[in-house]
Amino acid sequence: MSAFTCEFAPEGAPTRPIHVVAAADLETWSAGRSEAERAWIATQGFKAALGTHLVLPNPDGTAGDVVAGYGSAKDRARSRFALGPLATALPAGDYHFEGLENAEELAEQTLGWLLSGYKFTRYAGKASTPARLSPASGLDADRILAMAEGEGLTRDLINTPSNDMGPDELEAASRLLAETHGAAMHVTLDEDLLSGNFPMIHAVGRASERRPRLIDLRWGEAGPALTLVGKGVCFDTGGLNLKPGGSMALMKKDMGGSATVLGLAHMIMALKLPLRLRVLIPAVENAVSGTAFRPGDVLTSRKGLTVEINNTDAEGRLVLADALALADEEAPDLILSMATLTGAARVAVGPDLAPFYASTPEQTAALQAAAIRVADPVWQMPFHAPYEKMIEPGIADLDNAPPGGFAGSITAALFLRRFVEATPYMHFDIYGWQPSAAPARPKGGVGQGARAVLDALPELLGL
């Protein structure tokens, strides 16, 4: 699965306290410490600012308790996982938090501790050896561990460059995940995509020597049915509408939707949630060759809807459409797609928020509440019906790239929704990349929305 491993301190192991102290409480907290410790705090100029810490000395000169600054409520509102970096900043050993009374904050900082141990080391460097944390009593440690492992898998897949993460390798990663959890997997390959009626997956992937395919993973035998669909464009040149070099630099992450649904699938299966899970990943490379699909082509989708190609760089919605049509044929209780789909979404909300589209107010409320609980920020975007006419070109049923540039994320979501009729549907237009390092999130691939979905599943599916 992932090269990233994370663990808690063994149960019953002696641990050193990390006293979490807000800036306004430092004076009161310090009054209860020894005179030598108060002098040390003053000497070091420690003010309990968010993200700072101080190791207090024992009388014999060895390292003692740790005090971690928690800043102000305003500071904390502007930062997630602020205590996470302690995992790599503190000396090796086992620790526990003291002073965090809010259960959601405690869970967030515990998860942040585990995620801070992540480092992508496939090509250079070595894994960090973070200090270990003992989870507080009452926390669901197995759940937090599953979330960290799933996120690690997502990050590893996105961070791997495309020469080592093509459709073959994405299939192999999916197969390993399936084997780990006892799931079944079927793959439809290459020309069989045509006979199996996945013409748009085939059209997008046929220009590459790396064969296009549809990955189909199933797990669970009882409970409500959830189908996850992830965009698996392992590299996107833009096709004949070739991207400029600067826009191509990060296209290894164009399979971030598939990486995120695989991370979410791990969380679901590791926690043995009582549901029937299906994961569909159209895995392709959008390349340039004499067999590439062309601007002006009209493709007939699995659903029978015809699509005029006005830009070969709007390929993600094409491969997702065939997979969504297949998913909808079984009428599961919920279909949820994730894709690094549009630059318009990034312009609208930036890299830190995961824009999502929902079919009902109840879905929206469940997801928004869950996102707050698990520090996985999302933002609702509208399935705005009046824009439907923007994706209707006249010579075909649908246009894959409406002209004008307006509402790019919304029109893409409306395009996808045309392929789901029998099932409640949610869609995420994620970025999948951390542009600069932040607590518990090094620069590079990152999961978005998966934890929020996991936490919302009891309401979304009635578990």
- For the chain, the 3-state helix, strand and coil shares in percent, each to the nearest 5, are 40, 20, 40
Q: How far apart are CA 12 and CA 16, in angstroms?
A: 12
Tokens of 321: 């459409």
Given CA atoms 405, 406, 409, 415 in this order, what sign does their dihedral have?
negative
pLDDT in tens, 8-53: 999 988 999 999 999 999 999 999 999 999 999 999 999 999 999 9
Domain layout of the chain by residue ranges = 16-139, 144-461
- Catalytic, 253? Answer no
Catalytic residue list contains 443: no
- Given a cut of 80, whether residue 134 has pLDDT beyond it is yes
355 contacts 431 by C-beta, under 8 angstroms: no
SS3 94: strand
* Helix-then-strand count for the chain, H and E: 16, 19
Give me the catalytic one of 80, 317, 417, 441: 317
Sign, Cα dihedral of 403, 407, 408, 413: negative
Architecture of the domain delimited by 16-139: 3-Layer(aba) Sandwich (3.40)
Average pLDDT over residues 361-378: 97
Given the residues 38, 76, 119, 243, select the one marked as catalytic: 243
List, for residues 234-285, the tens digit of each pLDDT value: 999 999 999 999 999 999 999 999 999 999 999 999 999 999 999 999 999 9
Task: Give per-residue burial for 141-167: e unless 16+ CB within 10 Å, then b.
Answer: bebbbbbbbbbbbbbbbbbbebeebbb
* DSSP tag of 391: G
Does 382 score more than 80 pLDDT?
Answer: yes
Q: How far apart are CA 101 and CA 70, in angstroms?
A: 13
pLDDT tens, 188-238?
998 899 999 999 999 999 999 999 999 999 999 999 999 999 999 999 999
Cβ count within 10 A of residue 440: 27
Distance CA 6, CA 314 (A): 37
pTM to 2 decimals?
Answer: 0.97
Q: What angle do CA 180, 340, 158 make, to 5 degrees?
A: 45
Pick the CATH number of 144-461 from 3.40.50.2000, 3.40.630.10, 3.30.70.2740, 3.20.20.80: 3.40.630.10
